[in-house]
Structure 1
Amino acid sequence: MPVLVEEVIQKRWRLHKQHQGTAQKISEHLNIHPLLCQILLNRNITSLDKARLFLGEPDLDSVDYFDQAALEASVSVVFEAIEKNQKILIYGDYDVDGITSTTLLVDFLKQINANVHFFIPNRFEHGYGLHVCVGDLILQTQATVLITLDCGVSSKDIIDPVVEKYGTKVIILDHHKIPDELPNFDAMLNPKTLHPSHYLAHLCTAGIVYEFIKFYIQHYKLDLKSEPFLDLVALGTVADIAKLEGANRTYIKRGLPFLSRSHRPGIRALLERAKCEKSVLTTRDCGFVIAPRLNASGRLASALLGVELLLSDTVPEADKRSHQLEALNQDRREIDLMVFKACVAEVEGHPEYKDHPILVLSGKEWHSGVIGITAAKLVDKYSKPVVIVSFAGNIGRASARSVGKVDLYEVLKTCKPYFETFGGHKEAAGFSIKEEKMAAFKEALIKNSIPMITPQDLQPIVNIDAEVDPKELTLDLAEQLMLLEPFGQGNPQPILHTDKLKLIECKAVGTGEHVKTTFSDETGRHIIEGIGFGLSHKMALFNRPGFSVIFHLSINEWKGRRLPQLEIVDIK
């Protein structure tokens, strides 16, 4: 008989300490809803000056930038190549940060008449980071300048031979950790060289490219504006889950309006295919509408398609590529659902999984481009770390995701001798393994994890910003909450709580994973709809008296109508 293990560990709801008096005083000074002021206090924004800065924008003349010498070195290499009509090769990456940063730099360099070529590695053929094929690419393109995006800083073994053999000038634009030994480069812009409190400290590669573009325009006094490039900076920053502090927050706030009225045919075509008709895009639209479609190209085929879409000059070209991306994204969803269902059937069909601190699942020919997404969904469902291994032939490729306080990298490191390759961090990891080692590895990992993972480590904690009365859930409040955007790493979307809703209707939608609801307040006069992604397995709780929900309050735009909507996070 199937064993349902998803409710073994409940999410713990924790309400922030409420400061109604202080929130009311701030509200009167700033002329905003007291609820927003409570949320600001929850984010440790405890003064009027801090609140005004958070809700407004900094004086960009007063902030710090990259080292002047590093900026001058990077732009001078490119300027000289353009002057001499030399070829420039850009080596990007296959995630959305790589796709957007490549598009930004190619777009800009073409506008200033550079002879530019670009290359996007294939996830399955070339793997992560700079690949040795870069030498062949330089030979093929006859490039004298190599610019690496979202990679390169740890590639001394690849870059140094290229410099020695071809005399290539190298610019590294990367945000990854600085290694003990750096490659031979002519210029490097990397926020990891800056103090953690620096305005640019948390930039992803799209943001680094923007700093390069902005300085180039200023330095050579070009008749170009840098701000329109912020559309893809905002998209890349959200998709890369970069910390929303300093420049990241500013650039997303400034970039979203450019993205909303995008001059790029590719963005407009992609949004049209996704049936996203909103006049004002949010970070959620970046993270859940645009980014997955661009990511689908890198996960199932080649991320080159994503760059080609964003660089499309004409509507027919953009329509063709957006159609291809939409089809790939649909394939990605179907493959993900197939793998997810297979994993759930395995877990719920075998009682022993209930006692395992970590879930280890494997299968033949599961697409390795989607198993990371599937692992994250299984973590949400079972509140345990998840390892999924996909075998093609004798070699399996794995994606692993953590939960709560579990340091997944340290847990997996206890089994390092079983791996062919291995890497990752506390929240996520990956490795490859031979099929004949899989059974022993699984047994060893489960055994090793028992003393390393406690029930307290596994329990996900959801921080609730405030309790609200359903009558407060209006379009006006939803619009005011948008003043707190952009939401993301370091500034989560506010979570609200109520136990005063009455259920009118509830049904499963989509592929059966999601739940759509209609509620009223206790009087029955105030009606509001809700959507709970991945929560259909909890639908029965709505029929119990005194149910509680935690949720984001958002705006649902459809056919010109704008209505408040609950995005349900959890139900009890």
Structure 2
Amino acid sequence: EALKQVCRLNGRAVTSRDISFDLAPRLNSASRMNNVQTALDLLTTTDPRLATRLAATLDADNNKRKLIQNQILEEARAMTEKLTEHETGAALVLRGEEWNPGVIGIVASRLVDLWNVPVVMVSFSGGMGKGSCRSTPAFDMHSALLQTGDTLDRFGGHKGAAGLYVSEGNFELFKEKFLQVARTAMESTTYGPRLLVDMLLNPDALPEETVRRMTLLEPFGDSMEPPLFMGKGLRLLAPPEFMGDEGRSVRFSVAGVGGPVQAVAFGMGDYFREFDWKNQEVDLAYTPEINRWGSMERLQLRVVDIRRPSGR
């Protein structure tokens, strides 16, 4: 209950999305910020006042984690701008000094979303690198590391994610071998990003009550993704509103059942920089959800991908 309070989730039922994006990140922040005992104490205490203090500490740790994450992400993005096509076409392998090893996995996932290629991020300290690896659906990360294992001190993981240790002297050799494995995979498989939607369904044919019934299918997660629909030829009802750092995210309204419905597109702000919202249409891949803020609830579209309508 104390953790729900700091997440502003008190007084209502908790969804799987609340756990994924609010509760779990705060618990995980303890280990990422080298303070794992705080999370354990919160989960085992029966003292409400102590629970409140511990939850506040986790919330503060999570905010620190976000700051560190954004700093590393900006540094990594700057690095990618200086890399050659040889170093970015099939995968990204980046190194940094004293990056927080508990955070680089999150940053690697963000870079996968941005580049649509597998990403390895390695943090060096005292001549030894600790790395986090994140993959795309079509690329087997563990298999790739098996093929480069002679350059690593040790590694472990699975198809989608892994961790590794590599010495300073072996990093460049590992990087080149890994990039070659990724290039070979790109040539031999359907390697690029693929998005499979469940059905074509414009938002003006999707009642809020139907979306509420979809919550009965929860919990959603890996191998049990939430429904993904595609709306075609949609028009914005007002100018898009940019959000977040440097306006990288955006929200806008499209026609829904009985009136406008808000859509949010995280990390897709650049698409709308020169967008003529009065005259242009868009196709959206989206997941409908009930957005909750305090005691207020309303239908919202979480945009997964966006494109210009084909043939227009």
* TM-score of the pair, normalised by structure 1: 0.50
Measure, in 2, the Cα distance between the counterparts of 1:421 and 1:507.
Answer: 47
Distance in 2, Cα, partners of 1:517 & 1:375: 25
Q: 2:252 matched to which residue of 1?
A: 518
> CA RMSD, aligned part only?
2.3
Distance 1:515 1:318 in 2: 34
Residue-pair matches, total: 304
Checking the alignment, whether the CA contact within 8 Å between 2:134 and 2:162 is kept in structure 1 is yes
Q: What secondary structure sits across from 1:571 in the alignment?
A: strand
Alignment partner, residue 317 of structure 1: 50
DSSP-derived class of the 1:505 partner: coil
Residue 289 of structure 2 is matched in structure 1 by 554
Cα deviation digits, residues 38-83 of structure 1 (max 9, x gap) = xxxxxxxxxxxxxxxxxxxxxxxxxxxxxxxxxxxxxxxxxxxxxx
Distance (Å, rounded) in 2 between the aligned partners of 1:566 and 1:455: 36
2:292 is aligned with 1:292 = no
User: Residue 345 of structure 1: CA displacement?
Assistant: 1.0
Partner of residue 129, structure 1: none
User: Distance in 1 between the 2:190 and 2:75 partners?
Assistant: 27
Find out whether 1:490 has 2:245 as its counterpart.
Answer: no
1:343 — aligned with what?
76
CA deviations 1:478-529 (Å, max 9, x no partner) are 2122122222233210011112432213233233475242313299x61111
With over 3 angstroms needed to count, the CA separation of the structure-2 counterparts of 1:355 and 1:336, relative to structure 1, is: closer
Pairing of 1:490-509 with structure 2 (within 5 A) = 490-503=223-236, 504-509=238-243
* Cα distance in 1 between the residues matched to 2:243 and 2:10: 20
Assess, with a 3 A threshold, how the Cα gap between structure 1 residues 432 and 517 changes in structure 2: closer, same or farther: same
Hey, what's the Cα distance between the residues in 1 that align with 2:274 and 2:306? 7
**Aligned mates of 2:161, 2:88 — CA distance in 1:** 22
Partner of 2:310: none
- Residues 252-311 of structure 1 show CA distances to partners (whole Å, capped at 9, x for unaligned) of xxxxxxxxxxxxxxxx22222123356121111111111111011011113221121122
Where 2:240 maps in the other structure, the secondary structure is strand
Residues 417-469 of structure 1: CA deviation (Å, up to 9, x unaligned): 22111112221121111112212222232234322333844322222112223
> Does structure 1 residue 305 correspond to structure 2 residue 38?
yes
Structure (1 or 2) with the greater strand fraction: 2
Q: Tell me which residue corresponds to 1:532.
A: 265
CA distance in structure 2 between the partners assigned to 1:534 and 1:519 by the alignment: 17
Matched-pair contact (CA < 8 Å) for 1:375–1:386: yes
SS of equivalent residue, structure 2 residue 220: coil
User: Secondary structure in 1 aligned to 2:136?
Assistant: coil
Q: Distance in 2 between matches of 1:278 and 1:551?
A: 28
2:87 and 2:256 map into 1 onto residues whose CA distance is 39
Going from structure 1 to structure 2, the CA distance change for 1:299 and 1:559 (only over 3 Å counts) comes to closer
2:94 paired residue among 351, 361, 365 = 361
CA contact under 8 A between 2:95 and 2:122: conserved in structure 1? Answer: yes
Separation in 1, partners of 2:49, 2:88? 55
Contact 2:205 2:256 in 1 (8 A): no
Distance 1:317 1:547, change over 3 A: same
The one of 450, 475, 479 aligned to 2:208? 475
Q: Which has the higher contact order (CA 8 A, sep 6+)?
A: 1
Query: Does residue 393 in structure 1 map to residue 126 in structure 2?
Result: yes
Matched residues in 2 for 1:362 and 1:368: separation? Answer: 11
Q: Does the alignment pair 1:406 with 2:134?
A: no
Q: In structure 2, which of residues 130, 136, 150 is the aligned counterpart of residue 417 of structure 1? A: 150
Q: 1:275, 1:417 → 2: CA distance?
A: 49
Change (3 A) 1:404 1:339: same
- The reply to whether residue 370 of structure 1 matches residue 100 of structure 2 is no
How much has 1:550 moved relative to structure 2? 1.1
CA distance in 1, matches of 2:116, 2:14: 31
Separation in 1, partners of 2:276, 2:44? 50
Residue in structure 2 matching 1:331, options 64, 89, 92: 64
Q: Secondary structure in 1 aligned to 2:209? A: helix
Report the identity percentage: 29
CA distance in 1, matches of 2:23, 2:240: 28
**SS at the partner of 1:357?**
coil
Give 1:466's aligned residue.
199
Cα distance in 2 for residues equivalent to 1:548 and 1:490: 25
Distance 1:513 1:406, change over 3 A: farther
Q: Separation in 2 of the partners of 1:473 and 1:438?
A: 51
Alpha-carbon distance change, 310 to 358 in structure 1, aligned in 2, over 3 angstroms: same
